[in-house]
């Protein structure tokens, strides 16, 4: 019960911070005379998707993710370091590395992408886009790649929860066009500039800049692309959702299309191949490749 209360506290506290940031960005862009940054129906859909995601994820963390963490913990190194500057920094960096792996796999494996596609399915970039998440994340299994390596090393589960939540809070502030380059920080940290590339759907932008807090993972593993070298960024995905303002549809259409492809082609390899593999293999996608309707601007 205590873990459930902690989850609800995170939802409430950070929800208020995120809403304040969204409101501030909207007022700032209006004051600067910028229109088309926020779109009413899409913003509502993003907020609804984010709320459902965080409620389900928080309960999942409280009910079974941390329980599985503790079960795995007994088979690991059980390091359990005392709180120090070194151990805290080690945890932050390690959790970000695990996020990089998790995030990379969400783009490379159709099963994981079916949930993650929601986050990439907006044609716009603002703070509300950060909340465009999918409540099925807790059931997709990709969280194992993010949580469980820390259990094997032996970090305390409460430390890991704080590190993961902190990682997500940091990433929220990457979703904006109002912050341009950040100088020397661009070399080490993931920044709005780097993350704009990640949300692009043109060839030079797809599957780039997977880092959470740090960008050096991408530079180390060859997935980095500087915004200046990425060309004009077109936000969205190759197959845009047919109902861009329906939060339930936004969170389920990827899974529906996955099931349709598997059923149509009777090929279970589609589950673990990359997202475009079925189209490339069979040349007959089960989903309609049409652009989303243009959102009204405010």
pLDDT, position 8:
67
Q: What is the distance between the alpha carbons of residues 22 and 126, in angstroms, rounded to a whole number? A: 8
Each of the 298 residues of the chain gets a pLDDT tens digit; together they read: 565 666 667 777 788 899 999 999 999 999 999 999 999 999 999 999 999 999 899 889 988 999 999 999 999 999 999 999 999 999 999 999 999 999 999 999 999 999 999 999 999 999 999 999 999 999 999 999 999 999 999 999 999 999 999 999 999 999 999 999 999 999 999 999 999 999 999 999 999 999 999 999 999 999 999 999 999 999 999 889 999 999 999 999 999 999 999 999 999 999 999 999 999 999 855 444 333 333 444 4
Q: What is the distance between the alpha carbons of residues 118 and 249, in angstroms, rounded to a whole number? A: 9
Q: What is the distance between the alpha carbons of residues 244 and 205, in angstroms, rounded to a whole number? A: 22
Q: How many C-beta neighbours within 10 Å does residue 141 have? A: 11
Q: What is the distance between the alpha carbons of residues 160 and 247, in angstroms, rounded to a whole number? A: 29
Do residues 157 and 274 touch, judged by C-beta distance below 8 A? no
Sequence-separated (6 or more) residues with CB below 8 Å from residue 22: 43, 126, 127, 128
Bridge partners (DSSP) listed for residue 189: 214
pLDDT, position 291:
35
pLDDT, position 176:
98
Bridge partners (DSSP) listed for residue 200: 235
pLDDT, position 62:
86
- CB contact burial 205-240 (16+ within 10 A = b; e otherwise): bbebbbbbbbbbbbeeeebbbebeebeebebbbebb
Sequence-separated (6 or more) residues with CB below 8 Å from residue 286: 257, 260, 261, 264
CA distances to 29, 148, 205 from 80, rounded to whole Å, are: 46, 14, 39
CA 103 to the chain's CA centroid: 7
**pTM beyond cutoff 0.75:** yes
The full set of domain ranges for the chain reads: 2-229
pLDDT, position 14:
81
Do residues 173 and 21 touch, judged by C-beta distance below 8 A? yes
Report the length, in residues, of the chain.
298
pLDDT, position 284:
57
Do residues 127 and 25 touch, judged by C-beta distance below 8 A? yes
pLDDT, position 15:
85
């Amino acid at each position: 019960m205590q873990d459930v209360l902690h989850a609800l506290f995170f939802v409430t506290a950070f929800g208020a911070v995120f809403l304040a940031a969204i409101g501030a960005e909207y007022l700032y862009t209006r004051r600067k005379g910028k229109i088309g940054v926020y779109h009413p129906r899409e913003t509502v859909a993003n907020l609804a998707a984010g709320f459902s995601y965080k409620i389900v994820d928080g309960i999942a963390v409280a009910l079974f993710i941390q329980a599985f963490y503790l079960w795995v913990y007994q088979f690991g190194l059980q390091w359990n370091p005392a709180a120090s500057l070194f151990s805290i920094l080690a945890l932050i960096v390690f959790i970000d590395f695990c996020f990089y792996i998790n995030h990379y796999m969400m783009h490379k494996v159709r099963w994981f992408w079916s949930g993650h596609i929601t986050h990439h399915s907006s044609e716009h970039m603002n703070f509300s886009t950060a909340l465009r998440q999918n409540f099925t994340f807790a059931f997709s299994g990709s969280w194992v790649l993010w949580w469980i390596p820390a259990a094997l090393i032996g970090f305390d589960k409460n430390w890991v929860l704080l590190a993961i939540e902190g990682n997500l809070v940091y990433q929220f502030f990457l979703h904006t066009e109002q912050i341009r380059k950040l100088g020397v920080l661009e070399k080490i940290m993931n920044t709005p500039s780097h993350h704009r590339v990640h949300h692009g759907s043109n060839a030079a932008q797809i599957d780039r800049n997977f880092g959470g807090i740090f960008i050096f993972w991408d530079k180390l593993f060859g997935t980095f692309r500087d915004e200046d070298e990425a060309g004009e960024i077109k936000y969205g995905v190759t197959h845009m959702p047919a109902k861009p303002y329906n939060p339930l549809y936004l969170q389920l259409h990827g899974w529906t299309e996955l099931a349709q492809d598997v059923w149509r082609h009777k090929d279970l390899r589609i589950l673990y191949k990359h997202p475009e593999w079925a189209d490339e293999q069979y040349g007959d996608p089960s989903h309609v490749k049409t652009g989303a309707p243009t959102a009204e601007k405010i």
